[in-house]
Amino acid sequence: MNIKFQRAVDRYIGVPICALLSVLNLIRGKAAVTTSPRRILVILLSEMGSLVLAHPMFVRLKHQYPDADIHVLLFAKNREVLDLLGVIPAKDVLTLDDSSLGNLARDSLNAIRTLRSLKIDAVIDCELFARISSIFSFLSGAPLRVGFHRHTQEGLYRGSFINRPVLYNPYRHLSHQFLTMVAALESATVPVAKLLSVPDPCIPPLLDFVDQELELVAAQLYDDFPAIKGHPLVLVYPSGGILPIRAWPVEYYSRLCRKLLDEGYAVGVIGLKGDRQVSQVIVDHCQNSHCINLAGYTKTVRQLLALFHHASLLVTNDGGPGQFAALTPLPTITFFGPETPQLYQPLGSNGYSFFLSLPCSPCLTAYNHRNSPCDGDNQCLKLITPEQVLVKAREMLAGGSGKRNRHNA
């Protein structure tokens, strides 16, 4: 399903269902709530990168509730990233196929039946004001329901059955807000979790790869693209994914890549199979055998991360690759504008974010369901020049990589 259809379904079907469930919740009255939940459900349906940002939350949950069974509900297309993180046993993961409304409805009914049979004690809904996740939280049967709540704000209605409502804070990194969800489980303050939290484990561990696995990826890469062997590799990700407004201009990527090629680097343009056309625009512009189209080349996220181990730098739009790089040693430059690094900065210690903070930036927020009012002229990214990026790229390639949470104002 495309994102516009998802938004329409969430609004026009989700709102009345949330209202109906709120009335039902009022009639039923308060359910008995356990103070130390033994079966916890985490709902995190959205993009793959959010799972990396949620890693500290899973660590905190397992530390705070060592005897609890933790289950996760997510879209099937994001399953591989959760498995790579290794924080939840495969048997405790429930997936939904969102490729069509029919598939989503079928899997939703199956998931609800499974969750009710598990007798979930508490649910943590990590979605930013989406109604479908709040509906799942109620229908799971859990007496304790944590989720973002509008409180005194108008709009963004998700029902009144969230009994541990968390105040969404647009000035606090999302990984920290996920940690607040854990604190909310047993918090008695109003709003919940308003006390100073303990230090956050906010840098995820690097994923382990055996040398043989990395060597096989390198051998295959140089067999398929022998011209790049012997040249340090820079990877670029020019796609905006489901939100094209997040993309730095393709012509800027082309100019940057040509400069890097002139300085002796090889360039690999990465992306999904559907990104091959935009990737080929850059390859065609450069007209250099050291510039290769790698969109769709890796078949799994793990293969992509193994490829990262053979690169010297990643330049990427805000999205999955930038978050995944935090699980590897790869230095990374990430472009923000429609969204902000204050909320979505990758968690690794090897990244740098470009962000101009224009008066209209960021424009994609939880309050508008990431539906920007921009006319498509994303000056917040267009004003970041290839020359500026080249200076930072040279610095990071020379070993002076950026520090976590650094960005230009």
Residue-wise pLDDT tens digits, 81-100 = 999 999 999 999 999 999 89
Let me know if 401 is exposed, middle or buried by CB neighbors in 10 A (0-12, 13-18, 19+): buried
Indicate whether 130 and 241 sit together in one domain.
no
> Is 236 part of a structural domain of the chain?
yes
Across the beta sheet with 122-125, what order do the strands follow?
A: 93-96, 69-75, 39-43, 122-125, 144-149, 164-167
Strands (E), 229-340: 233-237, 266-271, 291-295, 313-317, 332-335
Kindly report the pTM of this predicted structure: 0.90
Q: How far apart are CA 66 and CA 37, in angstroms?
A: 11
Indicate whether 405 pLDDT > 90: no
Cis upstream peptide for 205 (omega within 30°): no
Q: Assess whether pLDDT exceeds 90 at residue 221.
A: yes
The verdict on 162 and 263 lying in the same domain is: no
Q: Look at residue 402 in the predicted model and tell me its pLDDT.
A: 39
Q: Which domain holds residue 298?
A: 211-408
Q: Is the pLDDT of residue 224 over 80?
A: yes
177 and 86 within one domain: yes
Among candidates 222, 134, 123, which has minimal Cα distance to 181?
123
Asked if residue 169 and residue 268 are part of one domain, the reply reads no
Average pLDDT on 242-270 reads 96
Least confident of 14-28, 327-341, 365-379: 365-379
Residues 273-278 have a mean pLDDT of 95
Q: Which CATH number do you get for residue 102?
A: 3.40.50.2000
pLDDT bracket for residue 203 (50, 70, 90): confident
Residue that the structure tokens 């935009």 belong to: 278
Give the pLDDT mean for 358-372.
90
Decide if 368 is inside a domain: yes
The Cα–Cα gap between 221 and 309 comes to 12
Residue 143 belongs to some domain of the structure: yes
Report how many domains make up the chain. 2
Percent of the chain with pLDDT over 90: 77
DSSP code, position 95: E
